[in-house]
Structure 1
Amino acid sequence: MNQAIIFTDNEEWDPIRNAVVCTALANGFQVHCCISSEVIKARFGFAELPEQFIELFRQYRWDLEDEFEQMILNAEFDSDGWVII
């Protein structure tokens, strides 16, 4: 684990993005990350309700954080500065 990137346990459902969002601290800066409901369903199985998407996120948290971390290290940000899977 890269100690320069730390993920907080504050995941939540974003109805506008239709995604689970979380926050990382990278070298002291806050980075917003999200994974869309479509990707969660495709990778991890059935979900319909926000609570189900959050539960699947929590089950696969370590893998997702590893993926977000690589994207942060590679500076794969969208135009708003978010890291999106």
Structure 2
Amino acid sequence: MNQSIIFTDNEEWDPIRNAVICSALVNGFQVHCCIQGKVINARFGFAERPEQFIELFRQYRWDLEDEFEQMILNEEFDNDGWVVI
């Protein structure tokens, strides 16, 4: 784990992005991350309601944080500055 990247436990469902969003502190700066609902369903099982998507996110949090971390280190940001799986 990279100590300059710290993930917070503030995940929530974003109905506009149709994704679970979370954030990380990277060298003191906040970076927004999200995994789209369709990706959650493809990888981890079927969810329909926001609380189901969040529960699947929580079950696989460590793997997702590792993936987000690698994307941050590789500077794989979208046009809005988000890291999106």
Per the normalisation by structure 2, the TM-score is: 0.99
Q: Within 5 Å, which residues of 2 pair with 1:3-42?
A: 3-42=3-42
1:79 and 2:79 correspond: yes
Question: Identity over the aligned pairs, expressed in percent?
Answer: 86
The list of structure 1 runs, each at least 4 consecutive aligned residues, that deviate by more than 4 angstroms after superposition, is: none
1:31 CA displacement: 0.2
What is the rounded CA distance, in whole Å, between the counterparts of 1:59 and 1:35 in structure 2? Answer: 14
How far apart, CA to CA, are the structure 2 residues paired with 1:54 and 1:63? 14
Q: How many residues align?
A: 85
Corresponding letter in the other structure for 1:76: E
Matched residue SS, 1:10? coil
Structure 2, unpaired ranges of 5+: none
Question: For the aligned residues, what is the CA RMSD?
Answer: 0.3
- Write the distance in 2 (CA, Å) between the matches of 1:9 and 1:44: 20
Q: Show CA shifts across 1:13-51 (max 9, x none).
A: 000000000000001110000000000000000100000
